[in-house]
Chains A and B, each alone.
Chain A
Amino acid sequence: MSDLRDLYQELILDHNRRPRNFGPLAEANRSAKGINPLCGDKVTVHLQVEDGQVKDIRFEGTGCAISIASASVMTESLKRQTREDAVSLFERFHRMVAPADGVESDPPDMGKLAAFAGVRDYPARVKCATLAWHALRAALDGKEKAVSTE
């Protein structure tokens, strides 16, 4: 079985301890909340989108180390990205943590997000890793209601 350290990499533990871009965003023009009903994790993503570009992004919420670190690294990765880049990054991230048909792939250009590759050995935790991303997607789509991982 895979080593726990593959899951709880130093980068993840660090972002869990000191989440980046954490808190409200005064200039936000879109926000969406993601809820994982299984464990009660809640993450709200605030976006300031201008001209199809993520000008600023912050998040708030409570959750396990995987979901908080994932949200934190996500916000770092998305600043100044276009909407399309953000969606495409989510798709690659999703493929990395939940490989379709069990075909493992390490998509290129994942940067720090690559630290979450270990999640794929823990299927129960995929929802934690993608919670903030689902909220991001909902915020980009302008959805008002909380999205659920279920």
Chain B
Amino acid sequence: MSTIAVIDYGMGNLRSVSKAIEHVAPGAQVCVTDDPSVVRSAERVVFPGQGAMPDCMRELRGRGLYEAVMDAARDKPFLGICIGLQMLFDRSEEGDTPGLGVLPGRVRRFAHDLKDAAGQKLKVPHMGWNEVEQRIEHPLWKGIAQNARFYFVHSYYPDPVVGGPGAGLTAGVSRYPAEFSCAAARGNLFAVQFHPEKSAAAGLQLLANFASWTPLNGSSAAVQARLRDQST
């Protein structure tokens, strides 16, 4: 039986994530766990998250999960969600916190005094349903309409380095009001700023796609070619 580990580093509601995966992948065993050995033996890993990045990093290290997460990010189908996306980058402006450095780039805060095209104030956190423009073809986007809406709730967003060694692909973007990267992909990694577990049909589809995803080798010619395309 396929085991999907949902990493529990003590930051709140993981039931939503595990229930949503159970709902779309009834054949899978979904394990909410803070046990590094369970993470190591799982076939797939979901790195969810909410809360503040400094606390998340501290909990991750404090619970001895750091190595297991890094190993999983190297070679297993790995899905990061929200803070679980942000923590993959080099550094976050939130408490000026170093991240895991799995993906090159920084995490920045939305500016104060954002306005929409009509001059109306845009609130932070960016909270609610926004459109996601898919920038690459990817198995995790399968069956999801271009510009489908997903549920977001965050004040910080990733600003990835695109191209260059180890860089991920911007798999999707959203706008608030400027464009920002809301999904990153590289080899066995896929990470999203929005919450698929709270995004109704589109989100459930993404989770179902993850549960059955067999990533290509990260160094495959196809991925390299797409990396080159995006960096030019």
Does B associate with A? no
